[in-house]
Amino acid sequence: MGPRVACYAGARYPERPRAFVHQGERLTVAQIENQERTPRGIRFRVRVSDGRHFWLSYDEIDDVWDVRAERSA
């Protein structure tokens, strides 16, 4: 089982991520800063309330999420 991501799903899934679990910590999405299509699905660059950034990638073919923390410069 991959990472857990809670999303708003209106006309399609996933339309907008709202929260996710990263290393056992539940984080709430404060802002979606970027959204793009990939060959396998969709990915979002999000900011959480403490200012950290993450990439949430949804693989539509395998129906799995990948959550990666963005390294700060």
How confident is the model over 30-62, as pLDDT tens digits?
999 999 999 999 999 999 999 999 999 999 999
* Mean model confidence pLDDT for the chain: 88
Residue 56 confidence (pLDDT): 96
Domain ranges for the chain, please list them: 5-69
Residue 26 has pLDDT above 60, yes or no: yes
Q: Could you tell me whether strands 41-48 and 25-37 are parallel, antiparallel, or unpaired per DSSP bridges?
A: antiparallel
pLDDT band at 16 (very low <50, low <70, confident <90, very high): confident
Mean pLDDT of the 18-33 span: 94
Q: What is the pTM of this model?
A: 0.84
Instruction: Enumerate long-range contacts of 10-16, CB under 8 Å, 24 or more apart.
Output: 14/42, 14/58
